[in-house]
Amino acid sequence: MRAIGIILAGGNNHRMKELSQKRAICAMPIAGSYRSIDFTLSNMSNSHIKKVAVFTQYNARSINEHLSSSKWWDFGRKQGGLFVFTPAVTADNSNWYRGTADAIAQNLSFLKNSHEPYVVIASGDGVYKIDFGKVLEYHIQKKADITVVCRDMEPGMGVERYGTLRMNEDCRIEQFEEKPIQAKMSTISCGIYVIRRRQLIEMIEKCAEEDRYDFVRDILVRYKDLKRIYGYKIQDYWRNIASVSDYYNTNMDFLKPEVRNYFFKQYPDIYSKVDDLPPAKYNPGSWIRNSLISSGCIVNGTVENSVVFKKSYIGNNCVIKNSIILNDVYIGDNTYIENCIVESHGTIQANSRYVGEDDIRIVVERNERYVM
Protein backbone atom coordinates (compact mmCIF):
# COMPACT_ATOMS: atom_id res chain seq x y z
CA MET A 1 0.00 0.00 0.00
CA ARG A 2 1.32 3.38 -0.92
CA ALA A 3 -0.23 5.23 2.00
CA ILE A 4 0.31 5.72 5.69
CA GLY A 5 -2.57 6.08 8.10
CA ILE A 6 -3.43 8.75 10.64
CA ILE A 7 -6.21 8.13 13.12
CA LEU A 8 -7.60 11.12 14.96
CA ALA A 9 -8.54 9.72 18.35
CA GLY A 10 -8.08 12.65 20.68
CA GLY A 11 -11.50 14.22 20.88
CA ASN A 12 -14.05 14.45 23.63
CA ASN A 13 -17.74 14.87 23.19
CA HIS A 14 -19.98 16.15 25.94
CA ARG A 15 -22.98 14.53 24.27
CA MET A 16 -21.62 11.19 25.41
CA LYS A 17 -22.42 12.34 28.97
CA GLU A 18 -21.06 10.06 31.71
CA LEU A 19 -19.81 7.55 29.17
CA SER A 20 -16.86 9.72 28.24
CA GLN A 21 -16.07 10.50 31.85
CA LYS A 22 -13.26 7.99 31.95
CA ARG A 23 -12.67 7.00 28.34
CA ALA A 24 -12.02 8.49 24.95
CA ILE A 25 -14.78 8.20 22.35
CA CYS A 26 -12.51 5.95 20.31
CA ALA A 27 -12.32 3.52 23.20
CA MET A 28 -16.10 3.15 23.45
CA PRO A 29 -17.03 -0.53 23.57
CA ILE A 30 -18.99 -1.61 20.51
CA ALA A 31 -20.92 -4.77 19.62
CA GLY A 32 -19.95 -6.84 22.63
CA SER A 33 -16.34 -7.48 21.81
CA TYR A 34 -14.86 -4.41 20.14
CA ARG A 35 -13.82 -0.80 20.73
CA SER A 36 -14.77 1.86 18.20
CA ILE A 37 -11.16 2.40 17.09
CA ASP A 38 -10.93 -1.30 16.11
CA PHE A 39 -12.97 -0.61 13.00
CA THR A 40 -10.65 2.04 11.59
CA LEU A 41 -7.54 0.11 12.67
CA SER A 42 -8.82 -3.11 11.09
CA ASN A 43 -9.79 -1.28 7.90
CA MET A 44 -6.28 0.11 7.63
CA SER A 45 -4.71 -3.25 8.36
CA ASN A 46 -6.99 -5.00 5.88
CA SER A 47 -6.14 -2.36 3.26
CA HIS A 48 -2.47 -3.25 3.78
CA ILE A 49 -1.54 0.10 5.27
CA LYS A 50 1.61 -0.73 7.21
CA LYS A 51 2.32 2.40 9.19
CA VAL A 52 -0.34 4.01 11.34
CA ALA A 53 -0.20 6.92 13.76
CA VAL A 54 -2.92 7.39 16.36
CA PHE A 55 -3.25 10.87 17.86
CA THR A 56 -4.69 10.68 21.34
CA GLN A 57 -5.37 13.40 23.86
CA TYR A 58 -8.63 13.29 25.80
CA ASN A 59 -8.65 10.43 28.34
CA ALA A 60 -5.71 8.98 26.46
CA ARG A 61 -5.14 6.28 29.06
CA SER A 62 -8.19 4.31 27.95
CA ILE A 63 -7.09 4.20 24.34
CA ASN A 64 -3.41 3.65 25.12
CA GLU A 65 -4.35 0.65 27.19
CA HIS A 66 -6.28 -0.80 24.29
CA LEU A 67 -3.35 -0.16 21.96
CA SER A 68 -0.81 -1.63 24.38
CA SER A 69 0.22 -4.08 21.70
CA SER A 70 0.01 -3.64 17.96
CA LYS A 71 -0.12 -7.35 17.23
CA TRP A 72 -3.91 -7.67 17.30
CA TRP A 73 -4.19 -5.58 14.15
CA ASP A 74 -1.03 -7.07 12.71
CA PHE A 75 0.92 -3.82 12.91
CA GLY A 76 3.89 -5.26 14.81
CA ARG A 77 6.15 -5.14 11.75
CA LYS A 78 9.71 -4.09 10.99
CA GLN A 79 8.43 -2.04 8.07
CA GLY A 80 5.87 0.34 9.52
CA GLY A 81 4.10 -0.22 12.82
CA LEU A 82 1.62 1.41 15.12
CA PHE A 83 2.61 4.78 16.61
CA VAL A 84 0.69 6.49 19.38
CA PHE A 85 1.23 10.24 19.66
CA THR A 86 -0.02 11.93 22.79
CA PRO A 87 0.79 15.66 23.15
CA ALA A 88 4.23 16.16 24.63
CA VAL A 89 6.03 19.23 25.87
CA THR A 90 8.96 19.99 23.61
CA ALA A 91 11.55 22.75 23.40
CA ASP A 92 9.42 24.80 21.06
CA ASN A 93 5.90 23.73 21.94
CA SER A 94 4.04 23.30 25.19
CA ASN A 95 0.50 23.25 23.86
CA TRP A 96 -2.07 20.53 23.82
CA TYR A 97 -3.40 19.59 20.42
CA ARG A 98 -5.52 22.63 19.67
CA GLY A 99 -7.30 20.96 16.80
CA THR A 100 -6.96 18.18 14.26
CA ALA A 101 -4.61 20.12 12.01
CA ASP A 102 -2.55 21.15 15.02
CA ALA A 103 -2.24 17.51 16.08
CA ILE A 104 -0.76 16.70 12.69
CA ALA A 105 1.41 19.82 12.78
CA GLN A 106 2.89 18.85 16.14
CA ASN A 107 3.86 15.48 14.69
CA LEU A 108 4.89 16.64 11.27
CA SER A 109 8.17 14.76 11.49
CA PHE A 110 6.18 11.53 11.30
CA LEU A 111 4.90 12.63 7.91
CA LYS A 112 8.24 14.00 6.79
CA ASN A 113 10.12 10.84 7.69
CA SER A 114 7.74 8.56 5.86
CA HIS A 115 8.31 7.70 2.25
CA GLU A 116 4.82 6.57 1.19
CA PRO A 117 3.34 9.12 -1.23
CA TYR A 118 -0.18 9.23 0.28
CA VAL A 119 -1.85 9.66 3.64
CA VAL A 120 -5.20 8.27 4.78
CA ILE A 121 -6.68 10.32 7.63
CA ALA A 122 -9.62 8.86 9.51
CA SER A 123 -11.40 9.51 12.75
CA GLY A 124 -11.34 6.70 15.28
CA ASP A 125 -15.00 6.79 16.20
CA GLY A 126 -16.61 5.32 13.11
CA VAL A 127 -18.21 1.90 12.83
CA TYR A 128 -17.77 0.81 9.24
CA LYS A 129 -15.80 -1.26 6.75
CA ILE A 130 -13.95 0.25 3.87
CA ASP A 131 -11.14 -0.68 1.50
CA PHE A 132 -8.82 2.32 1.58
CA GLY A 133 -7.09 0.89 -1.49
CA LYS A 134 -10.21 1.62 -3.52
CA VAL A 135 -10.45 5.16 -2.16
CA LEU A 136 -6.83 5.76 -3.07
CA GLU A 137 -7.40 4.38 -6.58
CA TYR A 138 -10.30 6.77 -6.99
CA HIS A 139 -8.22 9.64 -5.62
CA ILE A 140 -5.51 9.01 -8.21
CA GLN A 141 -7.97 8.53 -11.04
CA LYS A 142 -9.72 11.84 -10.26
CA LYS A 143 -6.36 13.59 -9.92
CA ALA A 144 -7.75 14.96 -6.69
CA ASP A 145 -5.83 16.97 -4.14
CA ILE A 146 -8.03 15.72 -1.34
CA THR A 147 -10.64 12.96 -1.44
CA VAL A 148 -13.35 13.04 1.20
CA VAL A 149 -15.29 9.85 1.93
CA CYS A 150 -18.94 10.78 2.15
CA ARG A 151 -22.32 9.19 2.47
CA ASP A 152 -25.95 10.13 1.92
CA MET A 153 -27.72 10.12 5.23
CA GLU A 154 -31.09 8.56 5.72
CA PRO A 155 -33.74 11.09 6.84
CA GLY A 156 -33.85 11.64 10.57
CA MET A 157 -30.21 10.79 11.17
CA GLY A 158 -29.26 14.26 12.28
CA VAL A 159 -27.30 15.62 9.35
CA GLU A 160 -26.61 18.81 11.32
CA ARG A 161 -24.06 17.06 13.45
CA TYR A 162 -21.73 16.45 10.53
CA GLY A 163 -19.95 18.33 7.82
CA THR A 164 -22.36 18.45 4.89
CA LEU A 165 -21.32 18.75 1.27
CA ARG A 166 -22.56 18.95 -2.26
CA MET A 167 -20.74 17.55 -5.28
CA ASN A 168 -21.04 18.29 -8.99
CA GLU A 169 -21.60 15.53 -11.55
CA ASP A 170 -17.87 14.82 -11.59
CA CYS A 171 -18.01 14.33 -7.80
CA ARG A 172 -15.95 17.43 -7.15
CA ILE A 173 -17.05 19.05 -3.93
CA GLU A 174 -18.63 22.46 -4.55
CA GLN A 175 -20.11 23.24 -1.21
CA PHE A 176 -18.97 22.28 2.24
CA GLU A 177 -20.64 23.36 5.44
CA GLU A 178 -19.40 22.23 8.83
CA LYS A 179 -22.20 21.39 11.27
CA PRO A 180 -24.83 23.70 9.70
CA ILE A 181 -27.68 25.02 11.83
CA GLN A 182 -30.06 24.05 9.10
CA ALA A 183 -28.79 21.48 6.65
CA LYS A 184 -29.38 22.15 2.98
CA MET A 185 -27.57 19.03 1.83
CA SER A 186 -28.04 15.43 2.90
CA THR A 187 -24.57 14.19 1.97
CA ILE A 188 -22.19 14.18 4.90
CA SER A 189 -18.47 13.81 5.27
CA CYS A 190 -17.46 10.62 7.08
CA GLY A 191 -14.30 12.22 8.40
CA ILE A 192 -12.07 10.06 6.20
CA TYR A 193 -9.65 11.74 3.81
CA VAL A 194 -7.00 10.74 1.32
CA ILE A 195 -4.35 13.28 0.46
CA ARG A 196 -0.88 13.32 -1.03
CA ARG A 197 1.69 13.39 1.74
CA ARG A 198 3.65 16.38 0.42
CA GLN A 199 0.44 18.26 -0.19
CA LEU A 200 -0.63 17.61 3.38
CA ILE A 201 2.70 18.74 4.81
CA GLU A 202 2.50 21.92 2.80
CA MET A 203 -1.06 22.71 3.89
CA ILE A 204 -0.40 21.88 7.53
CA GLU A 205 2.71 24.07 7.62
CA LYS A 206 0.74 26.93 6.10
CA CYS A 207 -2.01 26.48 8.67
CA ALA A 208 0.45 26.43 11.52
CA GLU A 209 2.03 29.66 10.33
CA GLU A 210 -1.37 31.33 10.35
CA ASP A 211 -2.31 29.88 13.74
CA ARG A 212 -5.09 27.81 12.29
CA TYR A 213 -5.71 24.46 13.90
CA ASP A 214 -8.69 22.68 12.40
CA PHE A 215 -8.45 20.34 9.45
CA VAL A 216 -12.05 20.75 8.30
CA ARG A 217 -12.55 24.49 8.85
CA ASP A 218 -9.08 25.64 7.94
CA ILE A 219 -8.22 23.24 5.16
CA LEU A 220 -11.25 21.59 3.59
CA VAL A 221 -13.56 24.60 3.70
CA ARG A 222 -10.93 27.23 2.91
CA TYR A 223 -9.30 25.34 0.05
CA LYS A 224 -12.39 23.88 -1.56
CA ASP A 225 -12.36 26.23 -4.58
CA LEU A 226 -8.59 26.40 -4.82
CA LYS A 227 -7.85 22.70 -4.71
CA ARG A 228 -9.45 19.72 -6.35
CA ILE A 229 -11.44 18.21 -3.50
CA TYR A 230 -13.47 15.16 -4.46
CA GLY A 231 -16.09 13.09 -2.73
CA TYR A 232 -16.00 9.29 -2.63
CA LYS A 233 -19.46 8.05 -1.83
CA ILE A 234 -20.01 4.93 0.20
CA GLN A 235 -23.30 3.11 0.49
CA ASP A 236 -22.54 0.51 3.10
CA TYR A 237 -23.10 0.64 6.82
CA TRP A 238 -21.41 3.58 8.48
CA ARG A 239 -22.13 5.06 11.90
CA ASN A 240 -20.31 7.58 13.97
CA ILE A 241 -20.39 7.57 17.75
CA ALA A 242 -21.19 11.14 18.68
CA SER A 243 -23.94 10.98 21.27
CA VAL A 244 -25.48 8.60 23.74
CA SER A 245 -28.34 7.82 21.38
CA ASP A 246 -25.92 7.20 18.46
CA TYR A 247 -23.98 4.91 20.70
CA TYR A 248 -27.06 3.05 21.87
CA ASN A 249 -28.50 2.70 18.37
CA THR A 250 -25.21 1.57 16.85
CA ASN A 251 -24.90 -1.21 19.39
CA MET A 252 -28.52 -2.19 18.91
CA ASP A 253 -27.94 -2.34 15.14
CA PHE A 254 -25.85 -5.43 15.76
CA LEU A 255 -28.98 -7.29 16.77
CA LYS A 256 -30.04 -7.10 13.12
CA PRO A 257 -28.92 -10.14 11.13
CA GLU A 258 -27.78 -8.11 8.13
CA VAL A 259 -25.48 -5.94 10.24
CA ARG A 260 -24.02 -8.93 12.10
CA ASN A 261 -23.53 -10.75 8.85
CA TYR A 262 -21.79 -7.75 7.29
CA PHE A 263 -19.35 -7.24 10.15
CA PHE A 264 -18.92 -10.71 11.62
CA LYS A 265 -19.27 -13.13 8.74
CA GLN A 266 -18.18 -11.33 5.59
CA TYR A 267 -14.58 -10.75 4.56
CA PRO A 268 -12.63 -8.95 5.90
CA ASP A 269 -12.75 -9.36 9.67
CA ILE A 270 -12.60 -6.71 12.35
CA TYR A 271 -9.83 -7.35 14.89
CA SER A 272 -9.56 -6.41 18.52
CA LYS A 273 -7.38 -6.96 21.53
CA VAL A 274 -7.82 -10.55 22.71
CA ASP A 275 -8.87 -10.90 26.32
CA ASP A 276 -8.48 -14.65 26.91
CA LEU A 277 -11.83 -15.05 28.59
CA PRO A 278 -13.56 -18.39 29.01
CA PRO A 279 -16.68 -19.19 27.00
CA ALA A 280 -19.92 -17.61 28.25
CA LYS A 281 -21.85 -19.75 30.69
CA TYR A 282 -25.60 -20.15 30.97
CA ASN A 283 -26.91 -21.53 34.22
CA PRO A 284 -30.41 -22.82 34.94
CA GLY A 285 -32.84 -19.91 34.89
CA SER A 286 -31.20 -18.12 32.02
CA TRP A 287 -33.43 -17.07 29.17
CA ILE A 288 -32.04 -15.03 26.35
CA ARG A 289 -33.97 -13.51 23.50
CA ASN A 290 -32.65 -11.51 20.59
CA SER A 291 -29.46 -10.53 22.36
CA LEU A 292 -25.71 -10.58 22.03
CA ILE A 293 -23.66 -12.06 24.87
CA SER A 294 -19.87 -11.89 24.98
CA SER A 295 -17.25 -14.25 26.29
CA GLY A 296 -16.59 -14.50 29.99
CA CYS A 297 -20.21 -13.73 30.93
CA ILE A 298 -22.19 -15.80 33.40
CA VAL A 299 -25.94 -15.53 32.91
CA ASN A 300 -28.58 -16.68 35.40
CA GLY A 301 -31.48 -14.45 34.40
CA THR A 302 -33.47 -13.08 31.47
CA VAL A 303 -31.87 -10.95 28.78
CA GLU A 304 -34.01 -9.45 26.05
CA ASN A 305 -33.08 -7.21 23.09
CA SER A 306 -29.81 -6.30 24.74
CA VAL A 307 -26.08 -6.31 24.18
CA VAL A 308 -24.01 -7.70 27.04
CA PHE A 309 -20.28 -7.03 26.87
CA LYS A 310 -17.46 -9.21 28.17
CA LYS A 311 -17.15 -10.72 31.61
CA SER A 312 -20.47 -9.58 33.03
CA TYR A 313 -22.40 -11.47 35.65
CA ILE A 314 -26.19 -11.48 35.60
CA GLY A 315 -27.80 -12.83 38.76
CA ASN A 316 -30.84 -15.01 39.36
CA ASN A 317 -34.28 -13.64 38.43
CA CYS A 318 -32.80 -10.58 36.76
CA VAL A 319 -34.51 -9.04 33.77
CA ILE A 320 -32.38 -7.03 31.35
CA LYS A 321 -34.39 -5.41 28.61
CA ASN A 322 -33.42 -3.13 25.71
CA SER A 323 -30.17 -2.34 27.47
CA ILE A 324 -26.44 -2.30 27.01
CA ILE A 325 -24.35 -3.84 29.75
CA LEU A 326 -20.70 -2.83 29.36
CA ASN A 327 -17.65 -4.88 30.34
CA ASP A 328 -17.26 -6.54 33.71
CA VAL A 329 -20.57 -5.53 35.26
CA TYR A 330 -21.94 -7.45 38.22
CA ILE A 331 -25.72 -7.46 38.49
CA GLY A 332 -27.13 -8.83 41.73
CA ASP A 333 -30.21 -11.07 41.93
CA ASN A 334 -33.78 -9.87 41.23
CA THR A 335 -32.69 -6.73 39.43
CA TYR A 336 -34.73 -5.11 36.69
CA ILE A 337 -32.98 -3.01 34.04
CA GLU A 338 -34.71 -1.47 31.06
CA ASN A 339 -33.56 1.11 28.49
CA CYS A 340 -30.24 1.61 30.24
CA ILE A 341 -26.57 1.66 29.50
CA VAL A 342 -24.73 0.22 32.49
CA GLU A 343 -21.21 1.61 32.75
CA SER A 344 -18.35 -0.91 32.82
CA HIS A 345 -16.96 -2.35 36.06
CA GLY A 346 -20.21 -1.40 37.76
CA THR A 347 -21.69 -3.40 40.59
CA ILE A 348 -25.45 -3.35 40.89
CA GLN A 349 -26.92 -4.52 44.15
CA ALA A 350 -29.57 -7.18 44.34
CA ASN A 351 -33.24 -6.12 44.09
CA SER A 352 -32.47 -2.88 42.24
CA ARG A 353 -34.55 -1.31 39.51
CA TYR A 354 -33.27 0.97 36.77
CA VAL A 355 -35.54 2.12 33.98
CA GLY A 356 -34.81 4.76 31.36
CA GLU A 357 -38.17 6.48 31.00
CA ASP A 358 -38.07 8.83 28.01
CA ASP A 359 -34.42 8.55 27.25
CA ILE A 360 -31.66 6.03 27.64
CA ARG A 361 -30.50 6.08 31.22
CA ILE A 362 -26.83 5.76 32.01
CA VAL A 363 -26.23 3.74 35.14
CA VAL A 364 -22.96 4.23 36.97
CA GLU A 365 -22.88 2.16 40.15
CA ARG A 366 -19.79 1.71 42.21
CA ASN A 367 -20.94 -0.54 45.00
CA GLU A 368 -18.72 -2.89 46.89
CA ARG A 369 -18.53 -6.22 45.11
CA TYR A 370 -18.27 -9.46 47.01
CA VAL A 371 -17.39 -12.38 44.82
CA MET A 372 -15.56 -15.62 45.27
Partner 1 sequence: MIRKEMIAMLLAGGQGSRLGVLTSKVAKPAVAFGGKYRIIDFPLSNCINSGVDTVGVLTQYQPLRLNTHIGIGIPWDLDRNIGGVTVLPPYEKSTNSEWYTGTANAIYQNIEYMESFNPEYVLILSGDHIYKMDYEVMLDFHKEKGAEVTIAVMPVPMEEASRFGIMITDEDHRITEFEEKPEHPRSNLASMGIYIFNWKTLKEALITMADQPALDFGKHVIPYCHQKGAPLYAYEFHGYWKDVGTLSSYWEANMELIDIVPVFNLYEEYWKIYTKSEILPPQYFADSSKVERCIIGEGSDVYGEVYNSVIGCGVTIGKGTVVRDSIIMNQTVIGDGCELNKAIIAENVTIGNNVKLGVGEEVPNETAPHIYNSGIVTVGEKSIIPDGVCVGKNAVISGVTTAADYENSYLAGGRTLIKAGEQ
Q: Is 57 in the site for partner 1 (CB under 8 A)?
A: no
User: Is the CB of 69 or the CB of 141 nearer to partner 1?
Assistant: 69
Query: Judged by CB under 8 A, which stretch of 100-108, 142-150, 160-168, 276-284 contacts partner 1?
Result: 276-284
Q: Is 77 in the site for partner 1 (CB under 8 A)?
A: no
Instruction: State in angstroms the smallest separation of the CB of 218 from partner 1.
Output: 39
Binding mask 201-240 for partner 1 (x = CB under 8 A): ----------------------------------------
Say if CB 52 and CB 41 are below 8 A apart.
yes
Q: Distance (Å, rounded) from C-alpha 283 to C-alpha 318?
A: 13
User: Is the CB of 131 or the CB of 287 nearer to partner 1?
Assistant: 287
Q: Is 95 in the site for partner 1 (CB under 8 A)?
A: no
Compute how many residues bind partner 1; rule: CB under 8 A: 39
Q: Distance (Å, rounded) from C-alpha 140 to C-alpha 135?
A: 9
Can you give 19-66 as a three-state secondary structure string?
Answer: HHCCCCHHHCEECCCEEHHHHHHHHHHHCCCCEEEEECCCCHHHHHHH
* Number of C-beta neighbours around residue 34 at 10 A: 21
Query: Judged by CB under 8 A, which stretch of 84-92, 121-129, 280-288, 358-366 contacts partner 1?
Result: 280-288
> Using CB under 8 A, which of 165, 270, 329, 342 touches partner 1?
270
Report the first-to-last Cα separation within the chain, whole angstroms. Answer: 50
User: Is the CB of 282 or the CB of 336 nearer to partner 1?
Assistant: 282
Q: Is 303 helix (H, G, I), strand (E, B) or coil?
A: strand
Q: Is 287 in the site for partner 1 (CB under 8 A)?
A: yes
Q: Is 293 in the site for partner 1 (CB under 8 A)?
A: yes
Q: Distance (Å, rounded) from C-alpha 351 to C-alpha 354?
A: 10
* Number of C-beta neighbours around residue 345 at 10 A: 16
Q: Please report, as ranges, the residues that interact with partner 1 according to CB under 8 A.
A: 31-34, 71, 255, 260, 263-264, 269-272, 274, 276, 278-296, 298, 303, 307-309
